[in-house]
Structure 1
């Protein structure tokens, strides 16, 4: 098999999983060539991914965390943005950024998040008007929806914007800028989108400092620490991106599974007690964050492969989550899978600060859907992103039959 983890066409679906499965069977780490660069190492097995992500002293995040990223951009935010920092600076930033996401802090927003997700599902399932099979008269007929554009993409954006108490009229703008800043194929468009987000949060920071409220940004300001305004803005953007893109792709991937295996949806409706384990399996199965890049700081040996300072290593989380050495029958979606030691939120010091919010969003989404939707069926061809960093469906037409 020709291995190419840089080719966009490999990621227009699940072909990359076959390539990574082949790499798991090879001894040691695999050296991957790079057309315009020095190349990088690939860690594809669960234990090797844990080793790389769990040792920030040896595997640094300061030089960038993704393939195809700009070295100059990473240098500009190193040790100022949580995801591009190493201990001890990483810990100081995380204490501030993570303060609003502790279990105690989240209790303040729990009801607000659940209510917002439920309202979104009611809107998507309960309103239909048009020639595409939607309900035009309120009768319990099927509805055709884009599971991404109508639901999955709006879900995390709506939640994080509500937590930040942003004006509702700004929510579509923030959603668009967040997606463009990460996924746009044009690097200039990505820069423009991120610059606009930074400008938005700079203005918002001034308003929240003058009039604090019950919102995420006010909580960050109250947490204190030694973060400058610029660092607060950078990390707000990071939280927004992480919250939006990961949950969006996980939710869309879940609906694709239920389209392909309708018996699983029926089982979930009959046995809602499966929801907690189903959410964990969704996270393992979709693994929206495909890889994390690290730079070696000192000589080290991983799986028998000798690495030198300056070497770049990619830890493929999606491959670790399909490792048969850890997961029985890993290529089968099992909503009752337990234990489920997936790494969808990363591992080590950089484990996702918003993982509790993500789990709450997905649980609230499935809870609302199983009560309101009897069947989920495909209504068109799924369309995939071709990115090798954050990955998932960009369109998924579905036919929903209301309960």
Structure 2
């Protein structure tokens, strides 16, 4: 989705807002619509093309309240607008579970994804990113950064999950096809055919890993899932497979999108790039600002489990509520000058990883790999600029970029270094 400030586009009216249509996330920005909803209709109903009604919350406090309240808002029905009729994996994967079952799957895997673990893996991750950046940028000229960024999630989490390096490229690409099966960058036919192919390819790789870990357990998520005790029993083979798929999708749908939006934001704002280059200590803050700015997950869906009062609206059980992360991360009530990309922003309680019991378990490795990438860029690039059309992902769920041509100017070899 384009990051245009609302003032730079014609103001919408409530009757023209459509938060469902994936094409609007390709052609334009929803920030004007989100700001109007925050101001005039913070609890807002819309119908999907199949007639399902969902309620949108766009203010930071309301989004936070919905995501924190897992007693009244459940995840098992589905967590994205694409499956308003119900997700067939509901109750069987970590992202589609409610407590206490969710806790039994999440808790044992947290140490593998912790910041401590990310620091332990950082030297290996840094070496891989250094090779990727140098291979693509050493000669300068135009390169498509989406090809580079698509490699990042498996660099950050491939070993941790248990995916063999030989499969990283295919896994990332098919995972994105599973998220946006009708986007031209990933489609291999109709949306249903693409989705079927993506699942087939991913499940083939994951089943091979699962079979190997049955014989040779390792210190990774797949091995942990195979030996997990969930209420006195082990996960069955299908549940292990679906949860492996969930961990892969969680990695692929966040890190590369933030990295692409970070590069685009810095390319369009040379002064911000010069600020970060002059002050490498700002790298962690710049990454957090990129997470707020990109908000890689536009929304998270919940279903009411009991009667609730949401703002001034009373909802009964079974209502669908879309918490718009991208809108919350631009809320003027929370963020000063929210439509400015500020790499030195100090107060930044963004919700890019969600909040509450379902906060993204892969946040630490994602933050680590993004910091390493930006530090490597500082050491290897003198500057860069957009060199052609930027194409955005056709998805109301993931705020992605599928084409980002960047003209890079490498630092002279005698000056190049890594500021990590």
TM-score, normalising length: structure 2 = 0.87
Residue matched to 1:34: 48
Residue matched to 2:325: 317
Mark the runs of 5 or more structure 1 residues left unpaired by the alignment.
127-134, 136-141
Match status 1:209 vs 2:214: yes
Per-residue deviation at 1:381? 1.1
Identify the match of residue 359 of structure 2 among 351, 363, 368.
351
Residue matched to 1:103: 115
Relative to structure 1, the CA distance from residue 164 to residue 312 in structure 2 (aligned partners, 3 Å threshold; closer, same or farther) is closer
Residue matched to 2:10: none
Asked if 2 retains the 8 angstrom alpha-carbon contact of 1:99 and 1:219, the reply is no
User: Hey, what's the Cα distance between the residues in 1 that align with 2:30 and 2:37?
Assistant: 11
Cα distance per residue 1:346-403 (max 9 Å; x no partner): 0111000000011001001001110000001111010011200012211010011001
User: Hey, what's the Cα distance between the residues in 2 that align with 1:20 and 1:319?
Assistant: 6
Residue matched to 2:339: 331
Q: Secondary structure at the match of 2:71?
A: coil
Identify the match of residue 264 of structure 1 among 239, 252, 272.
272
Residue matched to 1:230: 238
User: Hey, what's the Cα distance between the residues in 2 that align with 1:265 and 1:13?
Assistant: 26
Q: Which moved more, 1:223-232 or 1:342-351?
A: 223-232
Q: Secondary structure at the match of 1:98?
A: helix
Cα distance per residue 1:107-151 (max 9 Å; x no partner): 44232222222221121122xxxxxxxx4xxxxxx32100112x1
Match status 1:67 vs 2:81: yes
Asked if 2 retains the 8 angstrom alpha-carbon contact of 1:381 and 1:397, the reply is yes
Relative to structure 1, the CA distance from residue 144 to residue 27 in structure 2 (aligned partners, 3 Å threshold; closer, same or farther) is closer
Q: Secondary structure at the match of 1:394?
A: strand
Per-residue deviation at 1:261? 0.5
Per-residue deviation at 1:237? 1.1
Relative to structure 1, the CA distance from residue 272 to residue 108 in structure 2 (aligned partners, 3 Å threshold; closer, same or farther) is closer
Cα distance per residue 1:194-252 (max 9 Å; x no partner): 23312321221121221233544335446655433322221111111111121111000
Residue matched to 1:218: 223
Identify the match of residue 4 of structure 1 among 9, 15, 18.
18
Residue matched to 2:307: 299
Asked if 2 retains the 8 angstrom alpha-carbon contact of 1:61 and 1:83, the reply is yes
Per-residue deviation at 1:182? 1.4
Per-residue deviation at 1:161? 2.8
Match status 1:93 vs 2:98: no
Per-residue deviation at 1:306? 1.0
Per-residue deviation at 1:105? 3.5
Equivalent positions of 1:148-297 (< 5 A) are: 148-149=146-147, 151-164=148-161, 166-185=163-182, 186-221=191-226, 225=230, 226-297=234-305
User: Hey, what's the Cα distance between the residues in 2 that align with 1:28 and 1:175?
Assistant: 36
Mark the runs of 5 or more structure 2 residues left unpaired by the alignment.
1-12, 183-190, 412-420
Per-residue deviation at 1:55? 0.7
Asked if 2 retains the 8 angstrom alpha-carbon contact of 1:116 and 1:159, the reply is no
Asked if 2 retains the 8 angstrom alpha-carbon contact of 1:380 and 1:396, the reply is yes
Per-residue deviation at 1:282? 0.2
User: Hey, what's the Cα distance between the residues in 2 that align with 1:176 and 1:45?
Assistant: 33
Q: Which moved more, 1:279-288 or 1:62-71?
A: 62-71
RMSD over aligned CA atoms reads: 1.8
Per-residue deviation at 1:95? 1.4
User: Hey, what's the Cα distance between the residues in 1 that align with 2:52 and 2:386?
Assistant: 43
User: Hey, what's the Cα distance between the residues in 1 that align with 2:48 and 2:180?
Assistant: 21
Residue matched to 1:16: 30
Identify the match of residue 65 of structure 2 among 34, 44, 51.
51
Match status 1:402 vs 2:372: no
Q: Which moved more, 1:35-44 or 1:210-219?
A: 210-219
TM-score, normalising length: structure 1 = 0.91
User: Hey, what's the Cα distance between the residues in 1 that align with 2:66 and 2:199?
Assistant: 29
Relative to structure 1, the CA distance from residue 384 to residue 119 in structure 2 (aligned partners, 3 Å threshold; closer, same or farther) is same
Q: Which moved more, 1:94-103 or 1:218-227?
A: 218-227
Q: Which moved more, 1:188-197 or 1:165-174?
A: 165-174
Residue matched to 1:139: none
User: Hey, what's the Cα distance between the residues in 2 that align with 1:104 and 1:224?
Assistant: 24
Identify the match of residue 145 of structure 2 among 131, 144, 147.
147
Q: How many residues align?
A: 386
Per-residue deviation at 1:9? 2.8
Match status 1:80 vs 2:88: no
